[in-house]
Amino acid sequence: TLSNQTMPIERLVGVADFRKQVIAGKSEQEIRASWEPGLSAYKTMRKKYLLYN
């Protein structure tokens, strides 16, 4: 069924949340702000692997 299939936008972006945010009418700023916790966690985790700042 269609509900079990990955939508094309989800394949491009990698998550279903983005599509849901767009459908809900979220602004670009709101969508970008929703990425911040994960982005901050990633930046913290990657620090020990960076060769240069």
pLDDT at 3: 60
Tallying the residues shown for the chain, one arrives at: 53
Could you give the C-alpha distances from 35 to 4, 10, 27, 30, 51, in angstroms and in order? Answer: 25, 15, 13, 9, 25
pTM for the model: 0.65
- Tens of pLDDT, residue by residue over 5-36, are 777 777 777 778 888 999 999 999 999 999 99
The two tokens of residue 51 are 């060769």
Residue with more model confidence, 13 or 50: 50
For 16, residues 6+ apart whose C-beta sits below 8 A from its C-beta are 7, 10
Per-domain residue ranges of the chain: 2-49
